[in-house]
A and B are shown apart, each in its own frame.
Chain A
Amino acid sequence: MLDLSKFQSQGVETCFHDRHIKPQIYAGLNGSNWHLQDYEARGGYQALRKILDGDAAMPGGMTPDQVIAEVKASGLRGRGGAGFPTGLKWSFMPRALPVQKYLVCNSDEGEPGTCKDRDILAFNPHTVIEGMIIAAYAMGISVGYNYIHGEIFEVYERFEAALEEARAAGYLGNNILGSKHSFQLHAFHGFGAYICGEETALLESLEGKKGQPRFKPPFPASFGLYGKPTTINNTETFGAVPWIIRNGGQAYLECGKPNNGGTKIFSMVGDVERPGNYEIPMGTSFAQLLELAGGVKGGKKLKAVIPGGSSAPVLPASVMMDCTMDYDSIAKAGSMLGSGAVIVMDETRCMVKSLERLSYFYTHESCGQCTPCREGTGWLYRVVNRIEHGQGRADDLALLDSVAESIMGRTICALGDAAAMPVRGMLKHFRDEFAYHVEHKTCMVPQYV
């Protein structure tokens, strides 16, 4: 390996700062304390022991049903983007079916703006491992895989090292801590395909194929990895589980707000003074989150925010400043909390140029399976590109509306929608800027003229 240590991120700016609020997953991390014994010193693997051996409150341990009930009570919702209630998802697994079942962690973190799972896996990998062991116990699953974004290869290696520690300590493998529960967990790495963050594309990839999404139904709970019942959750979702079991679902729910339990990690990126990950209770105001990140860079005025990763519709500053950071508030404002990537844009940013880059991304990453997405994302990019370059035509905005409309809801997976939603969001809130570009062949933002 090359010695590039002086160029590598150490996590100080993004994770080990004192600007989290009531952190759970990121609490007490410093970069060197990712090992098993450090995790145990923080109370790690106590949740697993509580389930298997019991404690004062639960002397006989917890049954799988009790574990699922606790997760349901916590209000934990999927942290990968969809926000689906985790306990409910777990209850879909046909636990008693006498076939091999699989548990999969989606660490294919490639939604532009998002870099929270990277820091969890690098600096607190055992919380994900423990969360997966608990999930496996709750659903009667004996084999699991963690699919890690190929671009963060060092993190994949870190996770493999953590797995070795957990195996050596008897937390993974056969008869965990002397119980009847066995669970084998392995790490898998991708190699550059945004689409594999989609759960059925991820399964195809895990089977050694092109990452092309599957038609649903059947859902993974009945036909998943190798055609077997499979449950897939995001890294941060699994990472939250040990805390919930240790402290109770009610306590987790109370750190957030109703229907939006717990803390959530937000990646503050773009035009902020201190880009990084911030773990805060669900329902914290956006204004406070922005302040944690040091405010808009250079003291400039906030123009717009893409609140949930690049696929989420953009919101103008005035709308965003009234939002709280939870699924319901952002949805009500017309966007989505998504993966928790908050892309901040200041007053000097051109929306046409920004959308051009995003649209390029989606056409590049469309898997090509569905015509509306394969062709439509190309149309979106080419039309935005010509507007940006002063060659826009009078009917181009209507054309963009039409192409976006023709993609939405007409594809196997959500990538088509993910490409169309940013276009719709931009045209809804910044239509004037696009119209100006078309009419004047130049930008209305002074910096770009």
Chain B
Amino acid sequence: MSSSPVNNTAAQPVVAKLSEATLARFDREVAKYPADQKQSAVMACLSIVQQEQGWVSGEAENAIAAHLGMAPIAVREVTTFYNMYNQQPVGQFKLNVCTNLPCQLRNGQAALEHLCQKLGVDNGGTTADGLFTVQQCECLGACADAPVMLVNDRQMVSYMSHARIDELVDVLKAQAK
């Protein structure tokens, strides 16, 4: 275990320094809940960190724990329970492809395979240039639009025929940073 991002049992946990802007976003979420229930904002805070940093590091978990008055392990439990949190860095564009039965009946599995083949990665893999990560996923709740994919957790794309997948890859490459 050389450069594990996991927060180990060191006496003093490493805490990420979060910007004022990030903390302001946290506080907008915290304000939704009773004063003694700040923990309710943990899922939103984790997704904010993921949006800004691309993944949830142990240091970021510690910073959220400190901000919400939670034990770091309680934050870790949330990160590891929910499918969409990235526990390791991913490509600049994370593409989740639904292959559940309703999507499978409308070529969801073929869409995943086509995307993997086009990018030269296996399911779960990231392209060598760090641009794309492809992951099979469970129901996105858009079954009538199948095949469907989720881009970076927040934008859904629909009716993804092979031709549209090819186009999507081009469009994303053009918007890469």
Q: Does B131 sit at the interface, judged by CB under 8 A?
A: no
Chain A residue contacts of B23, Cβ below 8 A:
none
Chain A residue contacts of B8, Cβ below 8 A:
none
Q: Does B39 sit at the interface, judged by CB under 8 A?
A: yes
Is the CB–CB distance between B43 and A1 below 8 Å?
no
Partner of B154, one of A6, A154, A209: A154
Task: List CB contacts (< 8 Å) of A92-136 with chain B.
Answer: 100, 109-115, 117-118
**Bound complex: CA of A117 vs CA of B104, how far in Å?**
21
Q: Does A138 sit at the interface, judged by CB under 8 A?
A: no
Is the CB–CB distance between B156 and A154 below 8 Å?
yes
Is the CB–CB distance between A310 and B43 below 8 Å?
no
Partner of A345, one of B105, B151, B152, B155: B105
Is the CB–CB distance between A14 and B145 below 8 Å?
yes
**Bound complex: CA of A7 vs CA of B105, how far in Å?**
20
Partner of A9, one of B42, B77, B158: B158
Chain B residue contacts of A260, Cβ below 8 A:
none
Proximity string of chain A (255-277) to chain B, C-beta cutoff 8 Å, 1 when within and 0 when not: 00000000000011111000111
Chain B residue contacts of A112, Cβ below 8 A:
100-102, 138-139, 143
Partner of B139, one of A8, A306, A345, A361: A361
- A162 CB, nearest partner CB in chain B, Å: 15
Contacts known (A186-B32, A192-B82, A193-B81); A115 close to B142, Cβ less than 8 A: yes
Contacts known (A9-B159, A210-B78); A115 close to B99, Cβ less than 8 A: no
- B104 CB, nearest partner CB in chain A, Å: 5
Q: Does A149 sit at the interface, judged by CB under 8 A?
A: yes
**Bound complex: CA of A112 vs CA of B34, how far in Å?**
33
Is the CB–CB distance between B43 and A190 below 8 Å?
yes
Q: Does B153 sit at the interface, judged by CB under 8 A?
A: yes
Partner of A209, one of B78, B85, B101, B167: B78
Is the CB–CB distance between A208 and B43 below 8 Å?
yes
Q: Does B74 sit at the interface, judged by CB under 8 A?
A: yes
Proximity string of chain B (64-83) to chain A, C-beta cutoff 8 Å, 1 when within and 0 when not: 00001010001001100111
B residues contacting the other copy or chain, number (CB 8 A): 56
**Bound complex: CA of A285 vs CA of B137, how far in Å?**
34
**Bound complex: CA of A7 vs CA of B155, how far in Å?**
10
- Count contacts between A and B, CB distance < 8 Å: 192
Is the CB–CB distance between B47 and A189 below 8 Å?
yes
Is the CB–CB distance between B171 and A4 below 8 Å?
yes
Q: Does A357 sit at the interface, judged by CB under 8 A?
A: yes
Q: Does B164 sit at the interface, judged by CB under 8 A?
A: yes
Is the CB–CB distance between A189 and B145 below 8 Å?
no
**Bound complex: CA of A364 vs CA of B158, how far in Å?**
24
Chain A contact residues (Cβ within 8 angstroms of B): what range?
Answer: 35 or more
Is the CB–CB distance between B101 and A191 below 8 Å?
no
- A323 CB, nearest partner CB in chain B, Å: 19
- A270 CB, nearest partner CB in chain B, Å: 4
Chain B residue contacts of A154, Cβ below 8 A:
154-156
Proximity string of chain B (158-169) to chain A, C-beta cutoff 8 Å, 1 when within and 0 when not: 111000100110
Chain A residue contacts of B101, Cβ below 8 A:
112-113, 270, 306, 310, 343, 354, 357-358, 361
Q: Does A365 sit at the interface, judged by CB under 8 A?
A: yes
Q: Does B44 sit at the interface, judged by CB under 8 A?
A: yes
**Bound complex: CA of A255 vs CA of B81, how far in Å?**
42
Is the CB–CB distance between A192 and B144 below 8 Å?
no
Contacts known (A8-B157, A192-B84, A269-B102); A206 close to B141, Cβ less than 8 A: no
A selection of 21 A-B contacts at a CB cut-off of 8 Å is A1-B154, A4-B171, A8-B156, A9-B159, A13-B144, A111-B139, A153-B154, A154-B155, A188-B43, A189-B43, A190-B43, A191-B47, A191-B82, A192-B83, A193-B81, A207-B39, A211-B81, A211-B82, A267-B144, A345-B105, A357-B104
Residue numbers of A with Cβ under 8 A of B are: 1-4, 6-9, 13-14, 100, 109-115, 117-118, 145, 149-154, 186, 188-194, 205-211, 226, 267-271, 275-277, 306, 310, 341, 343-345, 349, 354, 357-358, 361, 364-365, 367
Known: A151-B139, A151-B153, A154-B156. 11 other contacts (CB 8 A): A2-B175, A7-B168, A115-B144, A118-B142, A153-B154, A154-B155, A208-B43, A209-B77, A269-B146, A276-B144, A364-B138
A-B complex: 4 closest residue pairs judged by Cβ atoms = A192-B83, A208-B39, A192-B84, A7-B157
